[in-house]
Protein backbone atom coordinates (compact mmCIF):
# COMPACT_ATOMS: atom_id res chain seq x y z
CA UNK A 1 0.00 0.00 0.00
CA UNK A 2 1.27 3.46 -0.89
CA UNK A 3 2.13 5.74 2.02
CA UNK A 4 0.27 9.01 1.50
CA UNK A 5 0.95 12.41 3.02
CA UNK A 6 -1.41 13.00 5.93
CA UNK A 7 -3.39 16.16 6.62
CA UNK A 8 -1.74 17.90 9.56
CA UNK A 9 -4.43 20.58 9.60
CA UNK A 10 -8.00 20.57 8.27
CA UNK A 11 -7.14 22.85 5.34
CA UNK A 12 -4.60 20.31 4.03
CA UNK A 13 -7.42 17.98 2.99
CA UNK A 14 -8.55 20.14 0.07
CA UNK A 15 -5.00 20.48 -1.29
CA UNK A 16 -4.38 16.75 -0.94
CA UNK A 17 -7.70 16.00 -2.65
CA UNK A 18 -6.75 18.15 -5.65
CA UNK A 19 -3.24 16.68 -5.89
CA UNK A 20 -4.43 13.07 -5.68
CA UNK A 21 -7.38 13.57 -8.01
CA UNK A 22 -5.20 15.18 -10.66
CA UNK A 23 -2.77 12.25 -10.30
CA UNK A 24 -5.65 9.79 -10.88
CA UNK A 25 -5.13 8.29 -7.40
CA UNK A 26 -8.60 7.10 -6.31
CA UNK A 27 -7.17 5.13 -3.37
CA UNK A 28 -5.30 8.24 -2.26
CA UNK A 29 -8.49 10.31 -2.44
CA UNK A 30 -10.37 7.68 -0.42
CA UNK A 31 -7.59 7.72 2.19
CA UNK A 32 -8.64 11.30 3.01
CA UNK A 33 -11.92 9.94 4.45
CA UNK A 34 -12.75 8.11 7.66
CA UNK A 35 -13.72 4.46 7.25
CA UNK A 36 -17.46 5.22 7.58
CA UNK A 37 -17.48 8.68 5.98
CA UNK A 38 -20.51 9.91 4.07
CA UNK A 39 -20.20 11.85 0.83
CA UNK A 40 -23.17 13.60 -0.79
CA UNK A 41 -22.11 12.66 -4.31
CA UNK A 42 -23.19 12.14 -7.03
CA UNK A 43 -25.59 15.07 -6.56
CA UNK A 44 -28.84 13.93 -5.02
CA UNK A 45 -27.39 10.70 -3.59
CA UNK A 46 -24.98 9.49 -0.91
CA UNK A 47 -21.82 7.42 -1.05
CA UNK A 48 -21.10 5.75 2.29
CA UNK A 49 -17.78 4.29 3.43
CA UNK A 50 -14.19 4.63 2.33
CA UNK A 51 -14.37 1.64 -0.05
CA UNK A 52 -17.47 2.99 -1.80
CA UNK A 53 -15.80 6.42 -2.03
CA UNK A 54 -12.73 4.79 -3.61
CA UNK A 55 -14.90 3.02 -6.20
CA UNK A 56 -16.77 6.25 -6.97
CA UNK A 57 -13.51 8.14 -7.52
CA UNK A 58 -12.12 5.35 -9.69
CA UNK A 59 -15.02 5.91 -12.08
CA UNK A 60 -14.81 9.71 -11.90
CA UNK A 61 -11.04 9.82 -12.34
CA UNK A 62 -11.19 7.40 -15.29
CA UNK A 63 -12.31 10.43 -17.30
CA UNK A 64 -9.13 12.33 -16.25
CA UNK A 65 -10.86 15.49 -14.96
CA UNK A 66 -8.65 18.37 -13.86
CA UNK A 67 -9.25 19.99 -10.48
CA UNK A 68 -7.96 23.39 -9.42
CA UNK A 69 -7.28 24.44 -5.87
CA UNK A 70 -9.96 26.82 -4.59
CA UNK A 71 -9.36 29.41 -1.90
CA UNK A 72 -10.88 28.09 1.34
CA UNK A 73 -13.16 30.04 3.62
CA UNK A 74 -11.98 30.29 7.25
CA UNK A 75 -12.07 26.92 9.00
CA UNK A 76 -14.24 26.56 12.10
CA UNK A 77 -12.70 24.27 14.73
CA UNK A 78 -14.22 22.99 17.96
CA UNK A 79 -12.02 20.50 19.79
CA UNK A 80 -11.53 17.57 17.37
CA UNK A 81 -14.18 18.57 14.82
CA UNK A 82 -13.78 21.17 12.08
CA UNK A 83 -15.87 22.60 9.26
CA UNK A 84 -13.99 23.37 6.06
CA UNK A 85 -15.52 25.00 3.01
CA UNK A 86 -14.66 26.55 -0.32
CA UNK A 87 -16.65 28.61 -2.78
CA UNK A 88 -16.24 27.05 -6.25
CA UNK A 89 -14.36 29.21 -8.74
CA UNK A 90 -17.34 29.09 -11.07
CA UNK A 91 -19.56 30.73 -8.41
CA UNK A 92 -21.96 27.77 -8.41
CA UNK A 93 -22.55 27.62 -4.66
CA UNK A 94 -20.33 26.09 -2.01
CA UNK A 95 -18.50 22.98 -0.89
CA UNK A 96 -18.38 21.94 2.77
CA UNK A 97 -16.77 19.16 4.78
CA UNK A 98 -16.91 18.12 8.41
CA UNK A 99 -13.53 16.73 9.38
CA UNK A 100 -12.28 15.04 12.52
CA UNK A 101 -8.90 14.95 14.22
CA UNK A 102 -7.61 11.39 14.42
CA UNK A 103 -5.79 9.87 17.42
CA UNK A 104 -2.43 10.57 15.71
CA UNK A 105 -3.31 14.28 15.37
CA UNK A 106 -4.00 14.19 11.61
CA UNK A 107 -7.37 15.04 10.04
CA UNK A 108 -9.81 13.04 7.88
CA UNK A 109 -13.13 13.89 6.27
CA UNK A 110 -16.23 12.56 8.01
CA UNK A 111 -18.96 14.29 5.97
CA UNK A 112 -18.44 15.76 2.52
CA UNK A 113 -20.89 17.93 0.58
CA UNK A 114 -18.88 18.71 -2.58
CA UNK A 115 -21.79 20.30 -4.43
CA UNK A 116 -24.87 21.97 -3.06
CA UNK A 117 -27.89 21.34 -5.23
CA UNK A 118 -30.82 23.78 -4.90
CA UNK A 119 -33.88 22.03 -3.45
CA UNK A 120 -36.68 21.21 -5.84
CA UNK A 121 -40.23 22.10 -4.86
DSSP readout, 62-109? TT-------PPPPPEEETTEEEEEE--TT-S--EEEEEEE-TTS-EEE
Domain that holds residue 57: 10-61+72-113
Whether 5 is in a domain gets the answer no
pLDDT grade, residue 22 (50/70/90)? very high
pLDDT in tens, 27-57: 999 999 999 999 999 888 999 999 999 999 9
pTM for this entry: 0.91
In a domain, 54, yes or no: yes
What is the total count of domains within the chain?
1
The per-residue pLDDT for range 63-93, each reduced to its tens digit, is 999 999 988 899 999 999 999 999 887 777 7
Q: Looking at residue 39, which CATH number applies to its domain?
A: 3.10.450.50
Indicate whether 2 belongs to any domain: no
Kindly state whether residue 4 falls inside one of the protein's structural domains. no
Q: Is residue 97 part of a domain?
A: yes
Amino acid sequence: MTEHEKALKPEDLTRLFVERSNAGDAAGVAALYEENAVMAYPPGSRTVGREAIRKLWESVLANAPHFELETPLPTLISDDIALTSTPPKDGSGARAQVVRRQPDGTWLRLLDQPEFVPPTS
